[in-house]
Amino acid sequence: MDYLLLQMLNGVQLGLLMFLLAAGLTLTFGIMDLVNLAHGSLYMMGAYIAWTTISWTDSFVMGALLALPIIFVLGLVVEAVVARRLYARNHLDQVLATFGLILFFNELVRVIWGPAGKSIAVPAFLNRTVEILPGVPYPAYRFAIIVVGAAVAILLAWLVARTRIGMLIRAGASNRRMIGALGVNIELLFSLVFGLGAVFAGLAGLMAAPITSVKIGMGDDILILAFVIIVIGGIGSIKGAFIAAMVVGQIDIVGRAFLPDLLKTFLSASAASSAAPAISQVLVYIVMAGVLVWRPTGLFGQRT
């Protein structure tokens, strides 16, 4: 029972990380109509930039706080140099150009930080366990990810639902030409949303770094999962992205944690341990296919 609880918490933690990534993606698609494959590169850049700033400041928190504005600026640069030219283009051009960006960033990282992976240590004050329930310890760092992730999710929900900028974002998602015609500076709004998405992606990358590893292409696989999430949730819907991220997080972790034992009842031990991660990955895509067959625009997507 405790084991199940811990694994479900791990699922929540993974889900929140993927939500941070998916939120930026779903905003850029919902508002600017941009398919940004390079969003995963911003996730990777977040981790690498944080590695550098952490080694400068010798403190995880300081390094992370220093890295976020840098990633924001990086997001603005990518928006101004490439992304802005793509908003009015069709999806194919966007896929192609941002695919080029991925190649560029992967290689840039190799030039700057070298081909070998880096690791970021778990900060000392979080390198222990907390008791989430009496007698049930849980790694403090993972718990911190859940807290930060949930805080950012709430902040985002507040930003979108309650503030003026959020109002513009929602208006932009439903009709961007109209809000432009009403005198809103949509170019500034687009830059801001792109930068915000970059910060969320970078934050996810740097928080994931101590529990995974910092390596070239780390953003590519998780990017596809993030796309799956926004497609399941319905493109442009923050709420959909959140729910889908939670579901995908649970499928992934619980699948990894429980499938091997289940499979061992009728497969050999080694076959079970190599098949289980594959099956839990496959499950995610089956869920997505099922949702799209049932609702071709996702759970909370706009019907056309």
Partner 1 sequence: MIAALRTPRGLITALILLALAVLPLLTQAFDQRYLLSIGTRIVIWSIAAVSLNMILGYGGLVSFGHAVFFGIGGYAVGILSAHGVSSGWIQWPVALIAATLWAALIGALSLRTRGLYFIMITLAFAQLVYYVGGGLEAYGADDGLNISRSRFPGLIDLRDKASFYWLCFVALCGTLWFCSRFANSRFGYVIRGAKSNDLRMTALGFPVFRYRLVAFTLSGTFGGLAGILLANEGAYISPAMMSWVKSGDLIVIVVLGGMGTLFGPLYGTIAFFVLEESLPHLLDLMRKGWGEYWQIVFGPLLILVALYARGGIDSLLGRRS
List interacting residues with partner 1 (CB under 8 A): 29, 35, 82, 85-86, 89, 91-97, 99-108, 110-111, 220, 224, 227-228, 231, 235, 270-271, 274-279, 281-282, 285-286, 288-289, 292-293, 296-298, 304
Q: How far is the CB of 74 from partner 1 (least distance, A)?
A: 16
Query: Please, what is the angle between helix 140-162 and helix 238-264, to 10°?
Result: 150
Q: How far is the CB of 105 from partner 1 (least distance, A)?
A: 8
Closer to partner 1 at the Cβ: 110 or 128?
A: 110
Closer to partner 1 at the Cβ: 112 or 151?
A: 112
Closer to partner 1 at the Cβ: 89 or 150?
A: 89
Q: How far is the CB of 7 from partner 1 (least distance, A)?
A: 20
Q: How far is the CB of 292 from partner 1 (least distance, A)?
A: 5
HEC per residue, the chain: CHHHHHHHHHHHHHHHHHHHHHHHHHHHHHHHCCCCCCHHHHHHHHHHHHHHHHHHHCCHHHHHHHHHHHHHHHHHHHHHHCHHHHCCCCHHHHHHHHHHHHHHHHHHHHHHHCCCCECCCCCHHHCCEEEEECCEEEEHHHHHHHHHHHHHHHHHHHHHHHCHHHHHHHHHHHCHHHHHHCCCCHHHHHHHHHHHHHHHHHHHHHHHCCCCCECCCHHHHHHHHHHHHHHHHCCCCHHHHHHHHHHHHHHHHHHHHHHHHHHHCCCCHHHHHHHHHHHHHHHHHHHHHHHHHHCCCCCCCCCC
Closer to partner 1 at the Cβ: 36 or 53?
A: 36
Closer to partner 1 at the Cβ: 11 or 40?
A: 40
Among residues 66, 69, 63, 71, the alpha carbon closest in space to that of 21 is found at: 71
Q: How far is the CB of 203 from partner 1 (least distance, A)?
A: 24
Closer to partner 1 at the Cβ: 262 or 278?
A: 278
Closer to partner 1 at the Cβ: 13 or 94?
A: 94
Q: How far is the CB of 291 from partner 1 (least distance, A)?
A: 10
Q: How far is the CB of 8 from partner 1 (least distance, A)?
A: 23
* CB 256, CB 11: distance < 8 Å: no
